[in-house]
Amino acid sequence: MGTAGKIQRSRRRHLRWLRGPLALASVAVGFATAGQAQRKDTGTLTIVVGAEPNLPVRLLAANKADIDAASLMFAPLAWLNKKLMTADESAFEPALARGWSRRDSLTLVFELDPRARWHDGTPITSRDVVWTLNTARDLAAFPVFALLMREIASVTAQGPERVVVTFKRAYAEQFYDVVYHVAPLPAHLLDTIPAKRLDASAFAANPVGSGPYRMGTREPGRQVDFVARADFFLGPPKITRIVFLLARNAEAQLNLMLDGSADAFESAVLARQIAPVVGRPNLRIVTGPWLSVGYLLFNRKAYGDRQTAHPILADLGVRQAIVHALDRPTLIRSVFGPYAAVAEGPMGQATWIRRVAPKQPGFDPDRSRRLLRERGWLDRDGDGIVEKDGRPLSLRMMYPSSNIPRVALGEPIQEMLRRVGIKLELDRLEPRVWLQRRSRGEFDIDFSQVTLDPSPTGIVQSWTCAGIGGSNAASICDQSFDRALERAIAERDEPAPRWRDAIAALHANAPAAFVFAPTQTVVLSTRYRQVDIRAEAPWSHVWRWSVDPGQRLARDDR
Amino acid sequence: MTGWLARRLAQAGVTFALVTLFLFVLMRLTPGDPLQRLGSDRPIPALEEARLRALFGLDQPIATQFGRFLESAAQGDFGVSIEHYPARVGTLVASRLGPSLLLGGAVLAVNFTLGVWLGVLQARRRGSRLDRWLGRLALAGYAAPTFWLAIVLVSLFAIEWRLLPAAQMTDPLLSPDAGPVAVALDVLRHLILPTATLSIVTIAATMRYQRTAMLEVLRLDFVRAARARGLGEQRVIWRHAWRNALLPIVTLFGLWLPVLVSGSVFVEQIFNWPGLGSLAFGAVIARDYPVLMATTMLVSGAIITAGIATDLAIHLLDPRTKPA
């Protein structure tokens, strides 16, 4: 070996001590890089929706898609908490209002968060809140909201960050009425537009909001994109882009989930419909209480005649007999599987009074037959159907052909009533025809399903004398229930017992047979963490979600 | 010929006007109120309902509504959609026309290239095993219900094997920076399953028409003469025989042409294809009169136009059929 070789070997020996630290450093750098990549928990969320949001502003919203889109783009003064306790203002979460206080039983004061900004960067001030609440109370422009907020006497600004709301009378849901129905709108952009023309304005199609997302691109009939605001005052969302993917067909909706094109889909479903999702490793079913309820509504007035009493259903005994004839747990198990509960009144699983309300009388076919017998309904000709004065106890039940749960439940209900001697004919109607007949009172029994507001006070519209001519399609008018309900709504300190009395009074009059209260069911990709889905607006808290770094997809960076 | 065309156009105009009037009246007589909204526990208050009726002109007598409709339709304005308010009907229809043309065009292209070629192949190999099997397969496709076939194809190719997308026309998260080639490839991937579904159930008709027409032509003297002159078989088939077996196919093509705009409700629903068929279906359910009028007028216009175009094409291809 020559001199050059010795020098080279000596250099190698000289550098050998560096190997260890270099290896350690490279491993550390590698870990750091991998760690950085692993820590990344931002991403996208593609939600399948059944309708297109055309007016994504709560004040103008025409359907659920509008309300869901509005919940991404507009923050309210305060969010309802997960228990949906509408009668307790301490159960709300601060949003645009960082705090609130009560001066007296008729006055609420809101303090706005000075960090809050509109999407165009303008600060959100008391002027915006005052303008929004006063506009919503304009009876000529927004009769629905004016009715909901009819107890508000005045809304005034005290400086840029304080709003004072006064009420006409003391009641438990004052706070709810201010914060739930509408979210503040930007007065600086809207106060020159007449209230009646807001729906046709450029703002309605592409709103400037206050929420964690602003509207991105929009492809009519296909999809609407929402882009996260990095400057959202409560923190930048980790779900950086949300896509509302429009799919009306139930088959297509589920297929988009199964082939991995979409990440989330909210639906009230039957057990057999959701079966393909069960067991898929990349999907899970998130369930929770919901605000929907399905019931058989008994018309108190004759078919299509609001003046004459119904020849059969005006009799309390017949109505009670129908309630006792239905084995509701069996009906629900066979059609919904685990995705519904027995309804115990005009409220969904998430309505807070459900936790205190008495149960509806249960399945008791013997009692049902006895009630009919006591009213003179007897099977004299032995055909299995009871008669009175030579007339069989025959009723027609209508429901929309588009509603899968009601279609599935129609025949089992028919069979259960036949067993106690009641003949039930089923009218499966086209949805708009069903609605038209309902509004005209052209039915004996209407198999209804409604999605309610979180507040139980909505019961007034559909179940009291005051609602006749409006939502009370069955002309129900029981003074004892109305009085009990009035007391429940007015009670501020201990509302639960009052509500219990009111629902007991409702059951005593048997205005309907409450059948099912569906569970909120969301098919969701397993990629998401910190998932928070709300009954009243499922996507309103997506800004708090994140993506599991181990399950990120290429599309999460788009 | 000019006189014939003028008469046909006049007839078409009268037919179109009658169809329009009939549709307009029939829609308003059909039970169901477009202002009733599903899923709401609160019906629209009387004040709001009155405002909406005035907004959509539904508070007027039918004759007045029809007059107003004609007036604005003549200017190309079909008004505002009730269901998709405040979207204008023209914008809605325009946004759905492209996807419908694409899907309809793809189906027609497959039908009248592959279908014609297979029909000719069957005729050339009449009575062979290939002829019999092609006939059986085509009939099996023809007999398959569209929605069932769509579900089977989606289950296999999209959900089980993940080879193709189950629905949509494009990837919802396709990058806005994607170039035209990437976009075209993406649309093509989404187009395969709906096109295959519609083609499988419709190609049998083309094949059978073409096979029968070719069989009739192939036994004629001029074909034998062409072969006797020593022409190649391909030339005899495609240049001589096929051109004379084209008339039934042109008629069939004319019948299929409206599919370009009418779309297919079932297929558009299952594949979530944003075409006119699903728009019209939604409008029927929602009693969205303005959208329904625009889509049905478009389809009836397409049917009438296709009828005239087919007659014209037949007269040009076969001068013997020209009217006196």
Q: Within this chain, do residues A325 and A411 fall inside the same structural domain, yes or no?
A: yes
Q: Within this chain, do residues A457 and A544 fall inside the same structural domain, yes or no?
A: no
Read off the pLDDT of residues B119-159 as tens digits, 9 standing for 90 and up: 999 999 999 999 999 999 999 999 999 889 999 999 999 99
Say whether B34 and A54 touch across the interface (CB within 8 A): no
Say whether B41 and A461 touch across the interface (CB within 8 A): yes
Q: Within this chain, do residues A313 and A462 fall inside the same structural domain, yes or no?
A: yes
Q: Within this chain, do residues A35 and A180 fall inside the same structural domain, yes or no?
A: no
Residue at B13 is within a domain:
no
CA distance A430 to A401: 6
Q: Report which of residues B309 and B44 the model is more confident about.
A: B309
Out of A248, A262, A439, closest to residue B36 by CB: A439
Say whether A220 and B87 touch across the interface (CB within 8 A): yes
Q: What is the pLDDT of residue B43?
A: 59
**Is the model's pLDDT at A460 over the cut of 90?**
no
- Mutate: best of B41, B154, B175, partner A, most A CBs <10 A: B41
Chain mean pLDDT for chain A: 90
Asked if A399 and A299 touch (Cβ cutoff 8 Å), the reply is no
Q: Within this chain, do residues A158 and A307 fall inside the same structural domain, yes or no?
A: no
Kind and range of the H or E run holding A397: strand A394-400
Q: Within this chain, do residues A453 and A369 fall inside the same structural domain, yes or no?
A: yes
Residue at A481 is within a domain:
yes
- pLDDT confidence band for A274 (50 / 70 / 90): confident
Average pLDDT over residues B262-288: 88
**Is the model's pLDDT at A14 over the cut of 60?**
no
Is the alpha carbon torsion for A474, A480, A483, A488 positive or negative? negative
CA distance A254 to A247: 9
Q: CATH code at A299?
A: 3.10.105.10
Phi, psi (rounded to 5 degrees) for A50 = -90, -15
Min Cα separation A485/chain B (Å): 18
Say whether A555 and B272 touch across the interface (CB within 8 A): no
Residue at B272 is within a domain:
yes
Q: What is the pLDDT of residue A151?
A: 94
Out of A200, A243, A249, closest to residue B172 by CB: A243
Task: Identify all chain B residues contacting A450, using CB atoms and an 8 Å cutoff.
Answer: 40-41
- The first and second tokens of residue A505, run together, are 């009074």
pTM, two decimal places: 0.85
Say whether B33 and A199 touch across the interface (CB within 8 A): no
- pLDDT confidence band for A32 (50 / 70 / 90): very low
The residues pairing with A162 across neighbouring beta strands, listed in sequence order, are: A111
Task: Identify all chain B residues contacting A474, using CB atoms and an 8 Å cutoff.
Answer: none
Residue at A65 is within a domain:
no
Residue at B111 is within a domain:
yes
Q: What is the pLDDT of residue B11?
A: 92
Residue at A69 is within a domain:
no
Q: Within this chain, do residues A16 and A117 fall inside the same structural domain, yes or no?
A: no
Task: Residue B310: name the closest of B252, B260, B241 by CA.
Answer: B252
Q: CATH code at A189?
A: 3.90.76.10
Task: Residue A499: name the closest of A472, A512, A517, A481 by CA.
Answer: A481
Task: Identify all chain A residues contacting B33, using CB atoms and an 8 Å cutoff.
Answer: 432, 435-436, 439
**Is the model's pLDDT at B242 over the cut of 60?**
yes
Phi, psi (rounded to 5 degrees) for B272 = 50, 40
Number of compact structural domains in chain B:
1
Min Cα separation B37/chain A (Å): 8
**Is the model's pLDDT at A4 over the cut of 90?**
no
Q: Specify whether the backbone of A288 is left (phi greater than 0), alpha (psi in -120 to 50) or beta.
A: beta
Average pLDDT over residues B21-43: 77
Task: Identify all chain A residues contacting B34, using CB atoms and an 8 Å cutoff.
Answer: 432
- pLDDT confidence band for A153 (50 / 70 / 90): very high
- pLDDT confidence band for B44 (50 / 70 / 90): low
Residue at A345 is within a domain:
yes
Nearest CA in chain B to A199: B86
Q: Within this chain, do residues A147 and A282 fall inside the same structural domain, yes or no?
A: no
Read off the pLDDT of residues A258-269 as tens digits, 9 standing for 90 and up: 999 999 998 756
Task: Identify all chain B residues contacting A252, using CB atoms and an 8 Å cutoff.
Answer: 166-167, 269-272
Residue at A307 is within a domain:
yes
Q: What is the pLDDT of residue A33?
A: 47
Amino acid at A455: S
**Is the model's pLDDT at B41 over the cut of 70?**
no
Read off the pLDDT of residues B209-232 as tens digits, 9 standing for 90 and up: 999 999 999 999 999 999 999 999
Q: Within this chain, do residues A513 and A529 fall inside the same structural domain, yes or no?
A: no
Number of compact structural domains in chain A:
3
**Is the model's pLDDT at A1 over the cut of 50?**
no
Residue at A490 is within a domain:
yes
Q: What is the pLDDT of residue A558?
A: 77
- pLDDT confidence band for A462 (50 / 70 / 90): confident
Out of A44, A252, A260, closest to residue B272 by CB: A252
- Tally helices (H) and strands (E) across chain A: 17, 23
Q: What is the pLDDT of residue A458?
A: 85
- pLDDT confidence band for A463 (50 / 70 / 90): very high
Say whether B279 and A217 touch across the interface (CB within 8 A): no
Nearest CA in chain B to A241: B173
Is the alpha carbon torsion for B97, B100, B106, B111 positive or negative? negative
Residue at B55 is within a domain:
no
Average pLDDT over residues A89-112: 95
Say whether B158 and A402 touch across the interface (CB within 8 A): no
Nearest CA in chain A to B34: A432
Q: CATH code at A222?
A: 3.40.190.10
- Mutate: best of A259, A266, A402, partner B, most B CBs <10 A: A259
CA distance A500 to A161: 39
Structural domain including A282 reads 11-53+211-288+520-557
- Mutate: best of A42, A217, A266, A432, partner B, most B CBs <10 A: A432
Residue at A58 is within a domain:
no
Q: Report which of residues A118 and A221 the model is more confident about.
A: A118
Query: Helix (H, G, I), strand (E, B), or coil: what is residue A111?
Result: strand
- Mutate: best of A45, A66, A240, A261, partner B, most B CBs <10 A: A261
Min Cα separation A436/chain B (Å): 6
Read off the pLDDT of residues B154-168 as tens digits, 9 standing for 90 and up: 999 999 999 999 999
Q: Within this chain, do residues A462 and A503 fall inside the same structural domain, yes or no?
A: yes
Task: Residue A244: name the closest of A19, A47, A6, A404 by CA.
Answer: A47
Q: Which residues contact A241 (CB under 8 A, 6 or more apart)?
A: A44, A45, A216, A225, A226, A227, A228, A558, B173
Residue at B231 is within a domain:
yes
- Strand spans (E) along A271-324: 283-288, 292-298
Task: Identify all chain A residues contacting B91, using CB atoms and an 8 Å cutoff.
Answer: 220
Residue at B147 is within a domain:
yes
Q: Within this chain, do residues A417 and A493 fall inside the same structural domain, yes or no?
A: yes
Q: What is the pLDDT of residue B262?
A: 76
Structural domain including B288 reads 89-321
Least confident residue range of A15-19, B111-115, B303-307: A15-19
Q: CATH code at B256?
A: 1.10.3720.10
ipTM value, please give it: 0.80
Min Cα separation B317/chain A (Å): 41
Residue at B63 is within a domain:
no
Read off the pLDDT of residues A193-233 as tens digits, 9 standing for 90 and up: 998 888 888 898 889 999 999 999 888 888 999 999 999 99
Chain mean pLDDT for chain B: 89
Nearest CA in chain B to A204: B86
Residue at B14 is within a domain:
no
Out of A199, A259, A431, closest to residue B86 by CB: A199
Q: Which of A171, A198, A225 marks a domain boundary?
A: A198
Task: Identify all chain B residues contacting A217, using CB atoms and an 8 Å cutoff.
Answer: 176
Residue at A546 is within a domain:
yes
Nearest CA in chain A to B157: A259
8-state DSSP, B159: I
Query: Helix (H, G, I), strand (E, B), or coil: what is residue A289?
Result: coil
Q: What is the pLDDT of residue A141?
A: 85
Say whether A248 and B282 touch across the interface (CB within 8 A): yes
Q: Within this chain, do residues A357 and A483 fall inside the same structural domain, yes or no?
A: yes
**Is the model's pLDDT at A325 over the cut of 50?**
yes
End-to-end CA distance of chain B: 8
Task: Identify all chain A residues contacting B168, using CB atoms and an 8 Å cutoff.
Answer: 222, 245, 256, 261
**Is the model's pLDDT at A270 over the cut of 80?**
no
Say whether B38 and A431 touch across the interface (CB within 8 A): yes
**Is the model's pLDDT at A438 over the cut of 70?**
yes
